[in-house]
Structure formats: C-alpha cells, structure tokens
C-alpha cells in the first residue's frame, strides 16, 4: 500500500449525503446558498475573526485581496512559499520583490524588509510557512513606519493562534486555502479574512462579479463564489478539525522522537505560538544529495514525500532572478514527510527506519 505525503480526510458518507438531500430538495446550488452562509458563520466563530468570505480557491483569494486593496507597484514577498503567492502578484500587475527568509522559522525575515523598500513599494505579502506564524509584530511595525499594506498568505495556518488570538487577525487581509490536501478542506475552496469593514464591503462585491442586486453593479468583480456542494463538505469536516489536529500532533511527536538523534532538523516554531495546527511535517536535510537519497529510498518503498517548497520562487523565469541565498539553500534541502489523520504509528516507524538507513 502506497503512503503519500498527504491523504484527504473524508467524513462519513451518510453525513455528507444528508446535506446533499437538502440541496436536492431546495435546488439551490450556488450564489450564496444557505450552506455557504452557514459555513461562513461557523468559520468566523471557530476562527475568531470578524469578516470571512468563502471563495472557490486560495489563489483567487489572494487575487481578490490584491485587487480589493488596489495595489499596483512593488510588493515585498517571500521566495519560500507555494508558487501562487508569487504568481498572484504578477497576475494582478504588480512586481514581486523577494526578501529572504529566517533560516530557523523559514518565514520572511523582517530584519531585511526595510532595505528592500523603494518609493514604488506598496505592500508586504508574507506566508505563514507550514502554518508557522511569521514575526507578525515586526512586520506590522515596518508596515506602519512606511505606510504599507500587509497581506498574509495563511493557506497553511487554519486554526493557528498567536498569543491566544487567531493569527488571521493580523495584517489588512489574510487568505486561506481549503484545497483537498489541507487540514480543513472543502474539496476546492478558500477564504478571505479581514477586520476592516470598508475592505470587507469591497471584497463582498468583488467575489460576485461586482453585483449590487440582479441588475446593478457596485464595481469590477470576478467569479470567486463557491457552491453548496463544497460548503457541505466544509460543514462535515469543521466539527472534526480539533480531532484531526490532535492526531497530527501525535504523529509529529512520534517523528520527532524517532528522528531526534539524526541530522534531520525541523523549522523552529515562532515564539508565542499558542496553538499550532500540524498541517505539515517539514524537515530540513543536511544537503541536497542527502535529500535526494532519502527521497529515492522512500520512493523505492512506495512512500512519497514532497519537496515543499522547491524551487525557490526568486528563481522563477518570469520574475527575473533576485538573490535570496537562504531560501535558495533551504529549498534544496526541505522535504515534507507523510502526515495525515489515518497514518499509523507503524507506518511512521517504517518511514523513519528508511530515512535512517539512507542518511
């Protein structure tokens, strides 16, 4: 039996079918249906945020956030993230300027931000890497000194708390991904979170073509809506998130114990993180040749880890190379090991045994 880097959690089929029966009865499939409204309300309560808009994926969440903030210019961002963080900036007509990462937390290094600011800088877009919070207070201080907007790509940070508050409450906007591989998922989906009432107003129209009633338009918009079917999956998964995190923590702690005396290391969790979600199990190998040997040994046993994130985004052809030596180094050595609710202790022991033999 193959072991993948992740496996989507599916709730009991009969529970999902119960929601489907209601959809069939109402014949209300999309356009802010009752399940979408219920999911948004439940997510705001669970996450402790003021405004949350359920959209059809995490990338459109980033794009709408950029558009709602009316950002045009240079955006300071991390080279160590999924490609959507960079591509959304380029797609919306702005220029990504890469700021290297902290070698311990792997998040953007706030000490390097001010040196990268120019008269064209309009915002900072930082990623909570693997759900590990950025140094949000240092980033906010830089942003306030220079009048910059802040967007957090929080695709990995569902349920994460910093100083006993949702990390999603920092910055002007945070965005989430609810892709099938995520801790909390709606098969495909995402969300935009903000505490700014005026910004929330713009986002609410922008995600629905700009509609202000059936025959009027508030302004430019896009189709960022999601369906009742996706909301139904979210309503099934959300009550189980705490249990999913509990088991993921157990698995992560077993990995920690079994790899403790090896040269394999993990990123350092940001200080004052009062709740981590164990969305991934990232490792940093001693070198790229060691990473490749470990990956190949695992693949030979039908185990599939993932080089997450590789390559460093500052090396993408369409952005022009901008040096980021720490990210470039870490990206060649970072490997996420399998982590999901149904992974057994015996499978973790097998994975670690293979890694130890390959080192």
Q: Which two tokens stand for residue 314?
A: 């500052």
Helix (H) or strand (E) holding 324: none
pLDDT-wise least confident of 8-17, 213-222, 294-303: 213-222
Summarize the confidence of residues 8-28 as an average pLDDT. 97
pLDDT tens-digit map of 258-273:
999 999 999 999 999 9
Buried/exposed 166-193: b ≥16 CB within 10 Å, e otherwise:
bbbbbbbbbbbbbbbbbbbbbbbbbbbb
Contact 238, 43 (CB under 8 A): yes
User: Would you say domain 240-358 falls under CATH 3.90.1150.10?
Assistant: yes
Q: What is the mean pLDDT of residues 155-173?
A: 98
pTM of the model: 0.96
- Domain locations along the chain: 13-239, 240-358
| pLDDT band per the 50, 70, 90 thresholds, residue 210 | confident
Task: Give Cα 204 distance to the centre of its chain.
Answer: 21
State the CATH class of domain 13-239: alpha beta
How far, in Å, are 126, 162, 313, 337 from residue 320 at the CA level? 19, 35, 10, 31
Q: Which residues pair with 55 in a beta bridge?
A: 190
Backbone phi, psi, residue 161, to 5°: -125, 140
pLDDT band at 216 (very low <50, low <70, confident <90, very high): confident
d(Cα 255, Cα 109) in Å, to the nearest integer? Answer: 27
Cβ-Cβ contacts under 8 Å for 282 (sequence gap 6 or more) = 106, 130, 266, 267, 308, 334, 335, 336
């Amino acid at each position: 039996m193959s072991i993948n880097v992740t496996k989507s959690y599916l709730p009991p089929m009969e529970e999902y079918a119960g929601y489907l029966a209601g959809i069939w009865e109402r014949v209300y499939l999309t356009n802010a249906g009752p399940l979408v409204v219920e999911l948004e309300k439940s997510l705001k309560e669970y996450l402790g945020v003021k405004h949350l808009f359920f959209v059809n994926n995490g990338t459109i969440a980033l794009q709408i956030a950029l558009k709602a903030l009316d950002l045009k210019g240079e955006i300071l961002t991390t080279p160590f993230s999924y490609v959507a963080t960079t591509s959304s900036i380029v797609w919306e007509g702005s220029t990504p300027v890469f700021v290297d990462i902290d070698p311990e937390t792997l998040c953007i290094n706030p000490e390097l931000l001010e040196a990268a600011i120019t008269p064209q800088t309009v915002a900072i877009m930082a990623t909570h890497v693997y759900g590990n919070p950025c140094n949000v207070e240092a980033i906010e201080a830089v942003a306030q000194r220079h009048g910059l907007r802040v967007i957090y790509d929080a695709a990995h940070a569902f349920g994460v708390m910093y100083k006993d508050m949702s990390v999603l409450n920092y910055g002007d906007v945070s965005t989430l991904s609810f892709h099938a591989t995520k801790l909390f998922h709606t098969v495909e989906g995402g969300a935009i979170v903000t505490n700014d009432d005026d910004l929330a107003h713009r986002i609410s129209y922008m995600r629905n073509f700009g509609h202000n009633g059936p025959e009027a338009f508030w302004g430019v918009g896009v189709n960022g809506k999601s369906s009742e079917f996706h909301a139904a999956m979210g309503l099934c998964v959300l009550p189980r998130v705490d249990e999913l995190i509990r088991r993921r923590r157990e698995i992560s702690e077993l990995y920690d114990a079994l790899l403790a005396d090896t040269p394999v290391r993990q990123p350092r969790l940001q200080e004052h993180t009062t709740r981590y979600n164990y969305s991934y199990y990232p490792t940093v190998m001693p070198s790229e040749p060691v990473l490749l040997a470990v990956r190949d040994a695992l693949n030979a046993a039908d185990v599939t880890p993932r080089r997450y994130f590789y390559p460093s985004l500052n090396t993408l052809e369409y952005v022009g190379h901008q040096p980021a030596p720490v990210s470039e180094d870490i990206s060649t050595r970072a490997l996420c090991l399998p982590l999901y609710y149904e992974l057994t202790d015996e499978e973790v022991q097998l994975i670690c045994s293979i890694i130890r033999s390959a080192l």
